[in-house]
Structure 1
Amino acid sequence: MTEKEVCLEGVSTELKFFNLINFQIIMTSFIKNLSYSFKPQRFLKPLGFIVIILLHTQSAVAQLQKTEPPFWFSGMKNPELQIMFYGKNIAQYDVSVSNNVVISNVTKTENPNYVFVTINTQNVAPGELTFSFKSKNKTAFTKKYELKPRRKDSALREGFDSSDMIYLLMPDRFANGNPNNDSTPDTAEKADRSKPGSRHGGDIEGIIQHLDYLHELGATALWSTPLCEDNDERGSYHGYGQSDVYKIDSRYGTNDDYLRLSSELHKRGMKLILDYVTNHWGKHWTLQDMPTYDWLHQFPGYAQTNYRMTTQFDQNASAIDAKMCMDGWFVKSMPDLNQSNELMLNYLTQNAIWWIEYANLDGFRVDTYSYCDKAGIAKWTKAITDEYPYFNIVGEVWMHDQAQMAYWQKDSKIGAIQNYNSYLPSVMDFTLHDAFGNVFNEDKHEWDKGIIKVYENFTNDFLYPDINNILVFAENHDTQRFNQIYPDIRKYKMAMALVATVRGIPQLYTGSEIGMKGDKNQGDADIRRDFPGGWPGDANNAFTKAGRTAEQNAYFDYTAQLFNWRKNKAVIHTGKTTQYVPENNVYVYFRHNDKESVMVVVNNSNEKQTVKTNRFAENIRNATRGKDVISGQTFALENEFSLDAKSALILELE
């Protein structure tokens, strides 16, 4: 053993930080424990080696700047795990791993700052692995990596379904539970509530503090817009331009806070849905130094999408138009991710699975689903549902034709014509939302106007492979606010009666339940106003009955009564639908199963109407009366009954 090797012995390659004070401590200890007589000429040489090695170790370890996923889980159905290591010239090293774990592939790209290492975790117990990075057979540095145990029956988790009511909120605009994190040193945009489009300070703590409010309202699942870090200089409050997809934005809290939110929801029997973005990022850290040129869609650089999602399946579409839909950027500040790049697709897949496992999630809502590379997004979706067969994912397919939307649902017969299956369990009923946009102002019955629009929406239900697994809603964070269109609580009640009783999964957007307005024509910030009472000093606190105005309580009480009634109604969750062609702008339909039947009557006329019941004999059968679930009033069904203008009845048949 040479003098150099003697000096190297015992020097830890795990040393990450080294300063002068530590150096002095080490040197003092070294000198005190010299077992031979002090001879300067003998001491200085090894001392020099120690300094060189310590500095070299510091430099080598500093090369490793990112490891993603930061940890993983033992016992996954798919045992292959691809870990991305990032650091200056890291590709120069050979990589090995401890515990007899098999490295099945090492991928190095044109960028020497990345190395992608795939290991097989099959039958590997939870615990710590050590990755060694070597040059010329000598270890430059190591990296500890943990495989955590999974929760019991994690793979069998059940996602949200038609028994749920999903409450959608934007965390920055809901409630400020911790004013200390309104602005943080590691993020660019600072809080300024005086500006509608700036950060306002809402956070995870604010959500947790008001979960009982959501429970009281009848919500059983929470969909929050993205909570991962969005470090854009402005407009970052919406969260769709993410800069780090493994980290909760510090202005919302921490990863631990998000786990606490998940736990608090589950304590209340509620579910957590993460808003996942597969199509684009913001200033994500990899975009500052991309692993490959085609990590993004390049033209080179930016080109705008044409937003024509029909080109994804139009057999007559030109290749350039289809390309500009899938590959074009949604907006200039959101670089478009290339899901046809296997490294990118695997990164997105593993990140999604990591969040499910880590945060104990119950579902995803996927933003701009139909703008993605259609083959790539199908692989992403299938990988997740293969790992979690009962997990639910709803995709934003913002189209205006039922056949076009049904194309994107799993096992679609329409998609099968082109040998395409997205594997996406759920889509959003945008055509019903379209009808809601004007139908309640159409007071007179006409061939193609009035409540017939709602009826016609359901005539195409046969196109969907799983009609109970579609999301129904009157508004969301991207649309005109319903109460802005209709500042009339009667029309709100009609819409909610429909949302709560038709097939599918109802979704409510924050503030609907207190009559909140907002004009999209004034900009998106206006439809994303702060929830009153979420900030200290708010004059109106709509989170409490005493703090709400009389009008707000009228909205809230109706909504809460309706959706709490719905919670235990299997006939609404999974029953069949029989609908009748509207007459005099009055729409009647039944939800029924072998045990019970519910009759829904919606009078969209601006006049009181009489409903003759003999026409509905095939569904009324032997029932003689129906009890309205809201008022408790009983209606005789033998002959006829009256219904007020612009009103709805939900009658449980007796």
Structure 2
Amino acid sequence: MNYYITFLIVCISSTVFAQIDRLEPPFWWAGMEHNEVQLVCYGNNIAAYEVASEDLKILEVKKVENPNYLFITIDSKDKAAGTYSLYFDNGKNQPFRRNYELKTRTANSAQREGFDSSDVIYLLMPDRFANGDSSNDSTSNTVEKVDRSKNGGRHGGDITGIINNLDYLEDLGVTALWSTPLLEDNEPTYSYHTYAQSDYYKIDPRFGSNEDYKELADNMHKRDMKLIMDYVTNHWGSKHWMIQDLPMEDWIHYWEDGDRSGFKRSNYRMTTQFDGNASAIDAQGCMDGWFDTTMPDMNQANPLVLNYMVQNAIWWIEYAGLDGFRVDTYSYNNKEAIATWTKAIMNEYPNFNIMGEIWMHDQAQISYWQKDSKIGAIDNFNSGLPTVMDFTLHDAISAMFNEDPAWDKGFIRAYDNFTNDFLYPDTNNLLVFAGNHDTNRINEIYKSDLDTYKQIMTLIFTVRGIPQIYYGDEIGMTGNKETLGDGDIRRDFPGGWSGDAQNAFTQQGRTESQNAYHNFTKKLLNWRKEKEVMHTGEFLHYIPFDDVYVYFRYNDAERVMVVLNNTSEEKTIALDRFSEGLNGATSGYNIISETKITFSETMTVPAKGSMIIELK
């Protein structure tokens, strides 16, 4: 009997003694730029085994403090798609074999186009959007069960619910979808938001399966829509299987003066990332502190941790066919490590897009984090991050419609925000928004005033950058986190559950008020979809007088004039001041009122009025 047959017999007879519980990534692809693949091999005392392969080049087998781990780096360069074998032998007649597959990539996968300023992004929380499959509301392998009566409980929304309502999103004029995280979060409470993830290679079964997620992407691509994954690099969940059995002590930031779990809360002072005057202890307190008690802070300075995250991100893009990432708490990460992570993804997919959550209140500080920032260059830092979020515009929007105009109040807040655009290397890659899953509902702030909503959406959909709308705003949903907690700004979308009193996904199911919000939003989004001048046109604005703000978007082929009146009085404006923007136009068409305008010396703007005028 030859050695190979003997080996197979021993393998079959010894599988009870030798088992790999997890192998991640579970598979890879032939022809990837990232071709040195680090396999995380987890099993009881697996480090006692040596690893070999007849058909794969093994570059390194790394053993760490915990004997239940092996980190095996294989070279997939120039390897064809197929199944390859890894052989494990501990020298005690207990060898075994594990197959590893390299799959065939989808054609032109590397050249996929990410989201950009031609898109409008719809942000939703899957647990609160629509329940398309009630059979997965609670599962045997997850702790928290469905309970719609709890503000912070799981309500049962899922991926099937999103797929079932793609017609609604397409009809609204949305071209891209950003869903808050869908990966497994097995915390015993408050798990619906899914920012404390327990398995980075698995969709939470209460949302569906990995295959369901891929089906969502496929269905969106058939509609020429894009899917953006909410990715969390800064922290994992306390119930993550690797956190439960750490590979090594410095896998996470463990604080000796913290609690028993090593927890010490971040000071949240992101300015310490670039403040040349900051003390070392304060900088460490931000970057290494935990975001919350259930969210261990990851040590991305550990190359094994960082490579795990790089590969996982690439794996999801390739597997599901993603068109972008939104990265949670981007500016809390080890900045050199997160730059390496970002550049590795963009190297694999040069036309992809990644937006980072930089929740700061100063344009220079936000700009620091955008790719090729001159401000970052002062610090010899370049994140490689294409898109940052325009939180300063959000700050202005949240205040300027509730105050009397003054030197620094009213529409001058928006104007002043745009005067700082010179700080950004790419203003088309700024995410512009009025609210999201962490902020008070815009219709709550302005007491469900439809005219104010129209001004806000007119602004968001016509200035430079990538517009984002938060689910339910388009039907006037309200919510106040300050008084009723996060669950109140994350209410269930009416009609997403069987038995709901109304179905706001349909015109007939919406109230008259909801249809007023919806119809306005739909009109603007579907108009913007075909307007290249709104996507990449130049931006020219004028200092607001009497709280009337006028600006233009233009290119060689077209000009659009936007007029917003933030007062309760009708205003008459002299047009000679705007001759640069009008550029000789004698008439225009107001797409909101659907009326033709003939320009004379003056123009009347309705009280609390919004005008989008295509110049003729």
* 1:227 equivalent in alignment to 2:182: yes
Structure 1 residues 282-325: Cα deviation after superposition (integer angstroms, max 9, x where no partner):
11100111111010011131111000000000000000000010
Structure 1 residues 179-226: Cα deviation after superposition (integer angstroms, max 9, x where no partner):
000000000000001111100000000000000100011100000000
Q: Which runs of 5+ in 1 are unaligned?
A: 16-53
Alignment of structure 1 residues 125-524 onto 2, 5 Å: 125-136=80-91, 140-282=95-237, 283-300=239-256, 301-442=262-403, 444-486=404-446, 487-521=448-482, 522-524=484-486
Aligned to 2:548: 586
Q: Structure 1 614/253 Cα, relative in aligned 2: closer, same or farther at 3 Å? A: same
Task: State the Cα distance separating 1:135 from its structure 2 match.
Answer: 2.3
Aligned to 1:32: none
**Distance (whole Å) between structure 1 residues aligned to residue 269 and residue 222 of structure 2:** 43
TM-score by length of 1: 0.92
Q: Structure 1 609/8 Cα, relative in aligned 2: closer, same or farther at 3 Å? A: same
Aligned to 1:639: 601
Task: State the Cα distance separating 1:647 from its structure 2 match.
Answer: 1.5
**Distance (whole Å) between structure 2 residues aligned to residue 519 and residue 352 of structure 1:** 34
Q: Secondary structure of 1:59's partner?
A: coil
Task: State the Cα distance separating 1:138 from its structure 2 match.
Answer: 5.6
Preserved CA contact (<8 Å) 1:177 1:209 = yes
TM-score by length of 2: 0.97
Preserved CA contact (<8 Å) 2:10 2:95 = no
Structure 1 residues 126-152: Cα deviation after superposition (integer angstroms, max 9, x where no partner):
000111001239661111110001111
Q: One-letter code of the match for 2:196?
A: G
Aligned to 1:23: none
**Distance (whole Å) between structure 1 residues aligned to residue 15 and residue 474 of structure 2:** 59
* 1:603 equivalent in alignment to 2:565: yes
Task: State the Cα distance separating 1:638 from its structure 2 match.
Answer: 2.5
Aligned identity (percent) is: 60
* 1:97 equivalent in alignment to 2:53: yes
Task: State the Cα distance separating 1:457 from its structure 2 match.
Answer: 0.4
**Distance (whole Å) between structure 2 residues aligned to residue 76 and residue 369 of structure 1:** 26
**Distance (whole Å) between structure 2 residues aligned to residue 459 and residue 7 of structure 1:** 75
Task: State the Cα distance separating 1:639 from its structure 2 match.
Answer: 1.2
Preserved CA contact (<8 Å) 2:49 2:90 = yes
Which structure 1 residue ranges, 4+ long, deviate > 4 Å from structure 2? 5-10
Preserved CA contact (<8 Å) 1:132 1:139 = no
Preserved CA contact (<8 Å) 2:538 2:555 = yes
Aligned to 1:119: 74
Preserved CA contact (<8 Å) 1:614 1:638 = no
Q: Secondary structure of 2:401's partner?
A: helix
Task: State the Cα distance separating 1:77 from its structure 2 match.
Answer: 1.2
Q: Secondary structure of 2:523's partner?
A: helix
Preserved CA contact (<8 Å) 2:10 2:93 = no
**Distance (whole Å) between structure 2 residues aligned to residue 427 and residue 477 of structure 1:** 17
* 1:619 equivalent in alignment to 2:581: yes
Deviates more, 1:300-309 or 1:159-168: 300-309
1:69 to 25, 39, 58: 25
Task: State the Cα distance separating 1:106 from its structure 2 match.
Answer: 1.3
Q: Structure 1 9/397 Cα, relative in aligned 2: closer, same or farther at 3 Å? A: closer
**Distance (whole Å) between structure 2 residues aligned to residue 477 and residue 409 of structure 1:** 23
Preserved CA contact (<8 Å) 2:263 2:290 = yes
Aligned to 1:24: none
Q: Secondary structure of 1:531's partner?
A: coil
Q: One-letter code of the match for 1:218?
A: G
**Distance (whole Å) between structure 2 residues aligned to residue 413 and residue 422 of structure 1:** 12
Q: Secondary structure of 1:441's partner?
A: coil
Q: Secondary structure of 1:445's partner?
A: coil
**Distance (whole Å) between structure 1 residues aligned to residue 157 and residue 361 of structure 2:** 33
Preserved CA contact (<8 Å) 1:445 1:583 = no
* 1:81 equivalent in alignment to 2:42: no
Task: State the Cα distance separating 1:445 from its structure 2 match.
Answer: 2.6
Q: Which runs of 5+ in 2 are unaligned?
A: 257-261
Q: Secondary structure of 2:264's partner?
A: coil
Q: One-letter code of the match for 1:589?
A: Y
* 1:575 equivalent in alignment to 2:573: no
**Distance (whole Å) between structure 1 residues aligned to residue 54 and residue 220 of structure 2:** 39
**Distance (whole Å) between structure 2 residues aligned to residue 460 and residue 477 of structure 1:** 26
Preserved CA contact (<8 Å) 2:117 2:535 = yes
Aligned to 2:9: 11
Q: Structure 1 556/95 Cα, relative in aligned 2: closer, same or farther at 3 Å? A: same
Q: Secondary structure of 2:604's partner?
A: strand
Structure 1 residues 499-554: Cα deviation after superposition (integer angstroms, max 9, x where no partner):
00000000000000000000111100000000000001111110000000000000
Preserved CA contact (<8 Å) 1:296 1:336 = yes
Q: Secondary structure of 2:207's partner?
A: coil
Task: State the Cα distance separating 1:6 from its structure 2 match.
Answer: 13
**Distance (whole Å) between structure 2 residues aligned to residue 445 and residue 322 of structure 1:** 39
Preserved CA contact (<8 Å) 2:7 2:95 = no
1:536 to 482, 498, 505: 498
Q: One-letter code of the match for 1:187?
A: T
Deviates more, 1:168-177 or 1:291-300: 291-300
**Distance (whole Å) between structure 2 residues aligned to residue 268 and residue 471 of structure 1:** 23
Aligned to 1:49: none
Q: Structure 1 476/594 Cα, relative in aligned 2: closer, same or farther at 3 Å? A: same
Preserved CA contact (<8 Å) 1:403 1:463 = yes
Structure 1 residues 90-126: Cα deviation after superposition (integer angstroms, max 9, x where no partner):
1111101232x21111111111111101111110000
Structure 1 residues 21-58: Cα deviation after superposition (integer angstroms, max 9, x where no partner):
xxxxxxxxxxxxxxxxxxxxxxxxxxxxxxxxx3x331
**Distance (whole Å) between structure 2 residues aligned to residue 587 and residue 581 of structure 1:** 7
Q: One-letter code of the match for 1:190?
A: K
**Distance (whole Å) between structure 1 residues aligned to residue 596 and residue 5 of structure 2:** 92
**Distance (whole Å) between structure 2 residues aligned to residue 468 and residue 288 of structure 1:** 42
Q: Structure 1 197/417 Cα, relative in aligned 2: closer, same or farther at 3 Å? A: same
Q: Secondary structure of 2:337's partner?
A: helix
Q: One-letter code of the match for 2:25?
A: P
Q: One-letter code of the match for 2:414?
A: V
- Report which of the two structures shows the higher radius of gyration computed on alpha carbons: 1
**Distance (whole Å) between structure 2 residues aligned to residue 138 and residue 347 of structure 1:** 32
Q: One-letter code of the match for 1:421?
A: N
2:15 to 36, 42, 57: 57
Q: Secondary structure of 2:275's partner?
A: coil
Task: State the Cα distance separating 1:12 from its structure 2 match.
Answer: 6.1
